Amino acid sequence: MKPHHLVCLALLCACGHPQTTDWPVYGGGKDARHYSPLSQIDTANVGRLAIAWTYHTGDDDKGTQIQVNGLEAGGVFYGVSPRLRLFALDAATGRVRWVFDPKGVGESSLSVCRGVALYKDERVFYSAGAHLFCVDAHTGRLIPDFGQNGILDLRTGLDRPVDKEYVASTTPGIIYKDLLIIGCRVDETTPAAPGSIRAYDVHTGQRRWIFHTIPWPGEPGYDAWADTAAWRHAGGANAWAGFSLDEANGIVYAPIGSASYDFYGGKRKGDDRYANCVLALDAATGKRIWHFQTVHHDLWDRDLPTAPVLVDIRKDNEPVAAVAQITKSGFVFLLDRATGQPLYPVREVAVDTVSELAGEKPWPTQPFPTFLPAFARSDAGGQEKNAVASGILRSGAPDADSLARRYAGYRKGLFVPPSREGTVIFPGFDGGGEWGGPSYDPATGYLYVNACEMPWVLTMVDVTPEPQKTNGEAGKALYVARCMSCHGPERQGGGNYPSLLRAPRDYTYARFTRLLETGRRMMPAFADLDSGQRQALASVILEDRKLQNRPFSGGKQQVDGYDAMPFTSTGYNKFLSRDGYPAITPPWGTLTAIDLNRGRIVWRDTLGDTPLGHTGTENYGGSVVTAGGLVFIAATRDARLRAYNKRDGRLLWETALPACGFATPTVYAVDGKEYLVIACGGGKLNTASGDAYVAFALP
């Protein structure tokens, strides 16, 4: 046997996955497999599933969501409400045991929460906005000997002052021995906090180690950044999507996002070392073991969207311990778990490097895996001479001719740089693969990946200095520099970012300026703006003509330095037809089973229905695979929960939900009875919000 495979075999033996009926970790286990060994619910009886209990949190509102993959351990189910109240239920009945409300601690800046971390059935760790809470698992009360009376402010401990910048945690950390390892979400524009990974003592809250994802002087990777001062001011490169852990070997695996600003890299020249990487760290010390970069010098917001999955495959008839990393581009990278080396060749392919944006220097090549097929279309016809004739544009759209003309004027193709005329981003900003993540079945070696196939158009504009004598003039300039990339040039919103056209009716001046200071949900805080700048921005967004005409009293926008970007985007704009559907041919959402051993797609189904038929829909949340032969998934815009035969992809069961289940299901057993729970929070994709956790079981 080859030495390389001896190492892998040792990892396989040491990394055994115990059979359990609980779901004690986000994603089911620290291996991120989304797998349950339960088989009571199987392919023969899944059609008999019925609602066992429903829990209503009672705090949903317009636009709220629940993206939570709930935990279950020892007969207790832990979840989080739309307004980020942590709760514990009897897992068999849904009866409430306790509720913890974070109100009063940064409640105005609440973001989404995707789950919690549980330490020995004793302590529950979860985040609401910038604050990490340590809650007694038995009583629902804060544990005062952790941090400051049970709370940590995640804006501290980053080795750089970021008190005026946006920091939040949406995906839970992971427990290794007595450490809680966490990442964070930061601003994707500038200024932005760094995305460093930290480990805290679970008992005291003391920081035990930090890994700088933007390397400091003397650290590995520092010399890869052309700007030797990047560690002082560059932001992003953050592990917002969670972690996986090889506990026996003490290795934590992190999926790293892009460096800020997402769409212009003229001030971060180089490959942006550790951004867009699968990163393996010593879980006890935070020291780098290896990294593998999936995008060089990202200009397209190609964050790694979910934790790498620890998989056991066979190559050349020998066992290999590996990690499988899905991407927003629809690729799967299969890497050796111990070394990070690709198990099959990855080609560095020459890509378009022509950018009309002054100062930009796109990286000349990008990595393409060769063994595993893509699970989504990754080019909306960039190589096609006639997009309509080739069937890429939806010929039945009511404005098909107009779409064809618009499409012809855009730049197209995977890894084509952003442009002023517009560049098609496909799969969209939300994938391909997204934060729900895949599931992996150790019995078959299949990886199940749900994907979105939505074209977006990225259009860049110049940020030019404008007169700033009045609040109106200054507010317009601030809007272009700080708000337009999310909310669009006409404040119409786009993607996951809401319209601001109702702001004059929905917000008072005091409430709006408070929002600028704290942020809320998808919106980062703008604490760096002074009172005069906040007043100017408020005058424009609230359409206060009287206030707009007053003299501007704030400081001038920075026109040089790292944070002053010469270009910004016009927002997150989907390429839609007049009837509101994607301008390309279906499918627009899929579920694919990939055989990791043989490198082939086993089956694929369109995921989700629209009034046009079985077209697929955008989908958020992941799947779960079970020993009972099933793949369960909600995730779709049509508010359904479905069960597929994991071997052949046949749809065996589906049911309507009270609101869209934009979350990953939880599977567990109590007293021999198997339960399937899905959070039904809706709120995304302009769907109705909900407040329900629904549990299914056999009668």
Nearest by Cα to 35 from 262, 236, 244: 244
Question: For residue 18, what pLDDT is reported?
Answer: 34
Rounded CA separation 428/496 (Å): 12
β-pairing, 666-670 vs 651-656, is unpaired
In SS3 terms, 593-649 reads as: EEECCCCEEEEEEECCCECCECCCCCECCCEEEECCCEEEECCECCCEEEEEECCCC
- Phi and psi torsions of 98, nearest 5°: -165, 160
Nearest by Cα to 298 from 199, 443, 188, 448: 188
* C-beta atoms surrounding 136 within 10 Å: 16
Q: Quick check: 386 pLDDT over 50? A: no
The pLDDT-based confidence of 522 (bands split at 50, 70, 90) is low
User: Which distant-in-sequence residues (6+ apart) come within 8 Å of 164 by Cβ?
Assistant: 191, 525, 527, 528
Question: For residue 12, what pLDDT is reported?
Answer: 39
pTM of the predicted structure, to 2 decimals: 0.90
pLDDT in tens, 160-215: 999 888 899 999 999 999 999 999 999 898 889 999 999 999 999 999 999 999 99
DSSP string computed for 423-438: EEESSBTTBSS-TT--
Question: For residue 531, what pLDDT is reported?
Answer: 87
Q: Quick check: 494 pLDDT over 90? A: no
pLDDT in tens, 141-169: 999 999 999 999 999 999 999 988 889 99
CB 271 within 8 A of CB 293: yes
The pLDDT-based confidence of 671 (bands split at 50, 70, 90) is very high
Question: Any idea what DSSP says for residue 582?
Answer: B
CA distances (Å), 434 to each of 464, 571, 622, in order? 34, 20, 8
β-pairing, 123-128 vs 117-119, is antiparallel
Rounded CA separation 135/364 (Å): 49
Rounded CA separation 419/422 (Å): 5
Question: For residue 116, what pLDDT is reported?
Answer: 98
Rounded CA separation 190/266 (Å): 13
CA distances (Å), 357 to each of 259, 417, 421, 560, 631, in order? 18, 9, 11, 16, 45
DSSP string computed for 367-391: EEESSSPPSS---SSTT-S-TTTTT
Task: For residues 448-464, give the mean pLDDT.
Answer: 94
Task: For residues 339-360, give the mean pLDDT.
Answer: 97
- At 189, which amino acid appears? T
Task: For residues 5-34, give the mean pLDDT.
Answer: 67
